[in-house]
């Protein structure tokens, strides 16, 4: 069964996802759009952009400034 992260956003953080491995049909939801992803791809997620990962994948997430769990919003 594919993994589905909860839709969320950050008010201050910028995230960059590097997809290093993925199987089947991995996707990311960015705002109202679903985007197919593949190994080697980078995704820039700016503050205020709702997002989640869908499917089985290994992702390196670079966060600037440093990750703050208080800046994770689930409207």
Could you give the 3-state DSSP secondary structure of residue 1? coil
Residue 66 pLDDT level (bands cut at 50, 70, 90): very high
Q: What is the pLDDT of residue 24?
A: 86
What is the value of pTM for the model shown?
0.87
CA distance 2 to 52: 13
Instruction: Report the mean per-residue pLDDT for the chain.
Output: 94
Q: What is the pLDDT of residue 75?
A: 85
Q: Residue ranges of the domains in the chain? A: 1-62
User: What's the fold here for domain 1-62?
Assistant: Jelly Rolls (2.60.120)
Residue 5 pLDDT level (bands cut at 50, 70, 90): confident
Q: What is the mean pLDDT of residues 27-55?
A: 96
Could you give the 3-state DSSP secondary structure of residue 57? strand
């Amino acid at each position: 069964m594919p993994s589905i992260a909860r839709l969320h956003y950050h008010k201050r953080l910028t995230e960059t996802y590097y997809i290093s491995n993925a199987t089947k049909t991995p996707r990311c939801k960015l705002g109202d759009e679903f985007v197919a992803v593949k190994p080697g791809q980078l995704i820039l997620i700016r503050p205020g952009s709702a997002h989640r990962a869908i499917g089985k994948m290994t992702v390196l997430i670079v966060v600037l400034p440093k990750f703050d769990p208080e800046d994770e919003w689930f409207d």
